[in-house]
Every structure is written in structure tokens, then in C-alpha cells.
Amino acid sequence: MSYGKIVIMACGSFSPPTYMHLRMFEIARDYIHTLNLGSVVGGLVCPVHDAYGKKDLVPAHHRISMLKLALRSSSWIKISEWETQQSGWTRTRVSLQYHQDTINNYLTGVNDPDPPSWLPDDILNLNSLDEPDNLMEKFNGNTQDGVTVKLLCGADLLESFATPGLWSDEDLETIVGRHGLVVVTRAGCDPGKFIYESDILYKHRKNVILVTNYIANEVSSTQIRRLVSRGESAKYLTDDGVLAYVRQHSLYGAPREHTEADARCS
């Protein structure tokens, strides 16, 4: 695997975001750095478009607001609203390509000079550190020196690659071959076997970084939604701000908050 600048990008519903979604980024970055596999210059969370139509997918503006609350203290993970702003659902290959092209075009000064809101801060710094002439020389015909946007996912998303009709082989070739995967796995699960059994993944196995999460945390959005709908506590499974937002907007069947207006009516 060539050593280069990497942005790790997680796509998904984030309905609502959990601590595990955020931990994935931290675990992945540490692993890549300690094994000298590259330099992680940023992280991106890309919530999916409402048209994805998954059960319990609350409108994108809510999911974005919750992600903002959950990521208040992160200096390096940014939210890209791009997928949610398209006219319909976007395939992951297209999203990876869009984000990678936008970053590299920004670095080389091609097209739009205004950085998008999700551009990692370290990219802005990279740009100011390099002399423009060197940059042009570096990038001319040599994408090796640009930033690679890799797909960060959990082992369950990896295993969804085998669901018939869900991902096209052509998209998988590009995602794994040109971008690469960073898979966060759980102690006790065996994504290595899954990779071995998939011709496409096996062919590009050099491009798949498997990161074992030794501090198991089985929290998922489904579990938080279940607790919320039962009126039980989900505290310490995600950010307090996220839970307050869920209550405030009565998401996922949360009992409506008792407001001062209610008190005046009764």
C-alpha cells in the first residue's frame, strides 16, 4: 500500500448518530498512523439522502443537526451535506469520487477557489504550506500525490456487498480498487474470511485496511431508537446533545417534551 494522504469517509443513515459512529474514526486514524499506512488528513461523515428510504430514517435536516451536536468536540471530523442536497439517493462510488475530486481540485487550484464547508482543516493547511508551483508539478498527471478518499465502514456494511443487487460489481471494483476500504471490525468477527470469499475484495485486498476494535461497543442506532420509543434512557450511548434534540423534536416515538406552554394550558 502506498503511503499517502488519506481522508476517511463514512456513509450511512446516522439516525441517530451513536458514540460508535464517532469511535470508528478515532480507531481507524490511530491504526493507520501507528502502522504507517498513510497520513489521515481528515474525516468525513456523509449522511444519506432521505430517498434512501430506510425504516426510521428521519429527515436529513434532523440527522445533520444531530451530527453537528455529536461532533462539537471533534477537531477533524466534518459533515458533508452533499448527498442530502442531491435530487435523489447517490451511490457510494459517486460520492467518494465527488469528495475526492473536490479536495484535489481545491489543492491544485482547479475550478472553485472557495473551500466547501466540509473541507478538512488539514487540507486548508496543506495548501498554504506548499508553494503553488510545486503543487502543480506534484499533481500533474500524478494522482498518487493527491488525497485518496477511502470508505470507512463497519464489518456489517462490508458484508452488505454480498447482498444480491445492492452494489454493482463495477462500483465495488472502483470503491475497493481506486479508493480503498477501512473496515472496523469487532473482536470475534471474521471479515478476513469474507474478503477471501469475494473475488473483487480478494483481488484488491492490499487496498483493504482491517481495523480490529478491541473495545467492543455494540451500540447501534436501532438500539437507541428502541430505548427512546420505550421512554427508557439512552444516556451514555450517544451525546447528551443528541438525546436532548431527539426529545425536543419527538423523534423516534419519544414522548413529547413537557413545555411551559403545555403547563399554562393545563
Ligand X SMILES: NC(=O)c1ccc[n+]([C@@H]2O[C@H](COP(=O)(O)O)[C@@H](O)[C@H]2O)c1
**DSSP at 178:** I
Q: Does 76 bind ligand ATP (CB under 6 A)?
A: no
- Asked if residue 6 lies in contact with residue 40, where contact means CB atoms within 8 angstroms, the answer is yes
Q: What is the dihedral of CA 96, 102, 104, 108, to 10 degrees?
A: 170
Q: What are phi and psi of 2, to 5 degrees?
A: -80, 140
Residue 218 corresponds to which cell in the numbers above? 455494540
* Helix (H) or strand (E) run with residue 137 in it: helix 132-139
What's the distance, CA 151 to chain centroid? 7
Q: Does 167 bind ligand X (CB under 6 A)?
A: yes
Which segment (10-18, 33-41, 101-109, 239-247) binds ligand X by CB under 6 A? 10-18
Residues 16-45 that bind ligand ATP (CB under 6 A): 18, 20-21, 24
Residue nearest to ligand ATP (CB): 154
Looking up cell 477511502 gives 150
Q: Does 13 bind ligand X (CB under 6 A)?
A: yes
Q: Which is nearer to ligand X, 93 or 225 (CB)?
A: 93
CB of 149 to ligand X, least distance (A): 14
Which segment (6-14, 65-73, 115-123, 210-218) binds ligand X by CB under 6 A? 6-14
Enumerate binding residues for ligand X (CB under 6 A): 11-13, 48, 52, 54, 91-93, 157, 166-167, 171
